[in-house]
Chains A and B, each alone.
Chain A
Amino acid sequence: MSYTLQFGQIWPFLPRLLEGAVVSLQIAVLAFCGGLLIGTACAGVKSFGPRWLARIVGAYVVFFTNTPQLVQIYFLYFALPDMGILLSSFMAVVIGMTLNAGAYLTEIQRAGFESRRASEMEAAEVMGFSRLQQIRYVILPHVAKVLFPPLSNQFIIVTLGTSMAAVFGVEELTGEAFNINAQTFRSIEIFSVTAGIYVVLTLAASVGLALLGRVLFRARTELI
């Protein structure tokens, strides 16, 4: 039996796929930005905070980096309602992915914090910078520059990870692809177009981020 590619049949659905792509990006940006905040705070705690707090952060990181993300979101979506916390599938996915990204970003950022320059800190200290000011003016910009490439990578990973939302019925790119597939059964066409849209998304993100890094931090990132 031979399968004839019929892309023509799915063109009408392209706008829906693109709408889905926008939702995917929304989830990715929300989860990544939230994760970045969590990661920065947690990395700060791990590097400079009191030991008991660093332990708690350590447990959080170990838990989220050693369990499947799907399971984490399942927990939020199906287990929390039993405790009286009701989340929409979109929120469950965003929160789950945020916590997950936060754990990975903690580890990534900590590497940057540890690469801080003791001599620059000392210079800042004798010029009257408080500990927080040292972090703000000396460590964070330096860390941002060192970390820009790995952070860009993590953003791509998060973006691709958003496809998991389809499992919970969120109508993002993969979710829409599922829906359209159920209507048309043109699986190969739909999923190859979907994959193409993911490629465009991630490619645009990496080029955009690399340019941003160049402007902001003089960071040299290989574009491809």
Chain B
Amino acid sequence: MHHLDIAGLEARYGEHTVLSGIDLTVGRADVIGLIGPSGSGKSTILRVLMGLLPPVAGMVKLDGEGVNYADATQVRRLRDRIAIVFQQYNLFQNMSVLENVCVAPVKIKKRPRKEVEEEARALLAKVGLGDKLKRYPDELSGGQQQRVAIVRALALHPEILLLDEVTAALDPELVSEVLDTIRLLAKEGMTMLIVSHEMAFIREVASRVVFMAGGKIVETGAPAQIFDAPEHARTRDFVSKILRH
């Protein structure tokens, strides 16, 4: 059974169709790399999956079970299992690093604070932020904030992690810190959908690459196929342009 099964997904912003006919199957511990030009709908797929933008057609199945996005209870249950890291971090500015990570598990999921804090400390230490627990987001660099956002998502114990351009806003030196974190997760068997412009990284970490353009999936394949021998002209064009950078 597939961990995540997307079929015929369609989404609109007002009258404007931004996704159509999206079919994608994701196995357990798969790492999907989502690539494509700006405005092709990569972020929108993640937003639809999280229930932030209700789809107008199509089907999303989690472990073979269909999700009805119009049903608030089902959406809540889905958000228990899928976590997202936004491109702009979206950290809570009024909370310290530790509080950012702990607030949802403690206040929303009602897990014991002591246990959650212990786990948060361990996770933060693992990504090199062990000495920043009491800092506030505006006192951290972009790379540090990004890692807090990843840890915050992990503290929710998701089965599936969605990462939107987690390296786009970072300095090159910081990129490697964040990528190391993601690499680690991939090794530990987390199912992930990663939107990224870092082709070298996608090539290394993804088990499958999805190329999108104009709200549609153009081509799906192993990294070697997409980057070295793409079938479609549109893919070839994009890959050659972005690799030349």
Contacts and interface: CB of A to CB of B under 8 A. Distances in A.
A114 interface: no
Contact of B86 (A122, A128, A137, A218): A122
A128 B104 CA distance: 7
A126 interface: yes
Interface stretch (A6-14, A94-102, A138-146): A138-146
Contact of B136 (A119, A126, A127, A218): A218
B206 interface: no
B93 A126 contact: no
A12 B116 CA distance: 62
Given A133-B107, A137-B107, A126 B79 contact: yes
B108 A128 contact: yes
B94 A123 contact: no
A168 interface: no
B83 interface: yes
Contacts of B88: 119
A184 to B, nearest CB: 53
Interface in B34-89: 50-52, 76, 79-80, 83-84, 86, 88
A125 interface: yes
A214 to B, nearest CB: 14
A123 B86 contact: yes
A167 to B, nearest CB: 42
A218 B90 CA distance: 20
Contacts of B86: 119, 122-123
A103 B109 CA distance: 37
B90 A141 contact: no
Interface string A57-82: 00000000000000000000000000
By secondary structure, the A interface counts as helix
Contacts of A138: 92, 94
What is the interface residue range for chain A against chain B? Answer: 10 to 19
Nearest to B104: A127
A137 B136 contact: no
B93 A129 contact: no
A137 B83 CA distance: 19
Interface in B105-139: 107-109, 136
A19 interface: no
A137 B103 CA distance: 9
A16 B220 CA distance: 85
Contacts of A137: 92, 103, 107
A55 interface: no
B193 interface: no
A142 B90 CA distance: 14
A125 B109 contact: no
B108 A129 contact: yes
B194 interface: no
Interface string A168-199: 00000000000000000000000000000000
29 contacts: A119-B88, A119-B90, A120-B90, A120-B91, A120-B93, A122-B90, A123-B90, A124-B104, A125-B52, A126-B50, A126-B79, A127-B83, A127-B104, A127-B152, A128-B76, A128-B79, A128-B108, A128-B156, A129-B104, A129-B108, A133-B107, A137-B92, A137-B107, A138-B92, A141-B94, A142-B93, A142-B94, A145-B94, A218-B136
Interface of A: 117, 119-120, 122-129, 133, 137-138, 141-142, 145, 217-218
- Give 6 nearest A-B pairs by CB, closest first: A123-B90, A127-B104, A141-B94, A119-B90, A128-B108, A126-B50
Interface of B: 50-52, 76, 79-80, 83-84, 86, 88, 90-95, 103-104, 107-109, 136, 152, 156
